[in-house]
Structure 1
Amino acid sequence: MTQHAETDPMTADIPSAAAAEQPEPAVTEYLDLDAVLSGAAILAERTEILYTKPHLEAQLDALDFEIQRLTSGAAPKSELDESAVGDSPVSADGRSVEALIEERQAKRREYIASGRKVLLRQMNGDAWAEFEAKWKKELAAKAPYPMAMWNELLAASLVSPAASVEKVAALRKKFGAPALEKLARSTWEMNTEGGVSVPF
């Protein structure tokens, strides 16, 4: 899906360049190994967004293309309504650029409103070792990796909502693989050293 013009609320909290340049506090305390080992396990967590109306992505792309086509002058005259005046072309189905923009904004709001938070948590060392052992042959081979492997990884890492492998598979079937790709990549990065990027 192409990038859309409105500011995505998910990026609203990104710090400014000036804030990013602030010096980090110095680390002065030594590791207390006994305290760490006796305490509760602290595993990495991430919150991602799953959009429950992925079909709107194609509609937004189509509107972007049509708006760009009309405003750039790429549309042949034969495809424009004869009532178009001056710099205000009208598409073949009678919609003005302004109407297309309004429709796009409405669909963009609907798409964003369909977002739902998903909490992911890193698998502990034992669980990850079992996962690697089970999928050793597939991991040693070249990507793409089987969907069953990604489904199991997601099911093991989903905290809210919790989901079985069967439910993850059903979710993938309902929304399609692209909708779950970000979740799968995020889960993989949490469970691998250095956030290795894995092709699908």
Structure 2
Amino acid sequence: GLVGFSALVDYVVGLRLFRTAGSGRRKLWLALSLTSNLGLLGFFKYFDFFLASFNEAFTLLGRPLDFGTLGIGLRVGISFYTFQTLSYTIDIYRRQLEPVRDPVAFGAFILFFPQLVAGPIERAANLLPQFMGPRTFSIGKARDGLRQVLWGLFKKVVIADTCAQYVNLVYADPEAHAGSTLLLATVLFAFQI
């Protein structure tokens, strides 16, 4: 969907930027990337907010208007992958990076899961080389990866969710609890996150 379109735009723009010599045409390619990515980000993240604010402003002025909203749901990770792809394109524009020709490596760079959740935006020059090597299946690495996923799932479901029950109960009404209870809830919150 949306992330695929964004990745495709910047993959193609990156290749074209690298091949284009004239600064005017290079700026047009960069503008295409910036406009499409920031336009999509602005539309999906802010359109309904501004439309609702516009409606509310006219209501407060005594001239109620109801344009409604489009009910556009926020796409998960849209800000992250938008700026991730833009950093790639801008690095190529500045001639600090050559474009990657492997679409699988480029996709992995855009969607690298640990970064998608925690950030920060990683420069393509630092991350892409790690995806460019040969990809071979290893039963040992697959087993290790599965073990790490299961361990993380255990920590989330058993430890974090159990702590969350107590923390949510205490934090829902902190005035009703003693300082020691609040302290314990805060310590458990540290384990929860």
What TM-score range do you get, normalising by the shorter chain?
under 0.3
TM-score w.r.t. length of structure 1: 0.22
Instruction: Give the TM-score normalised by structure 2.
Output: 0.22
Q: Quick check: which one's helix share is greater?
A: 2
Higher strand share: 1
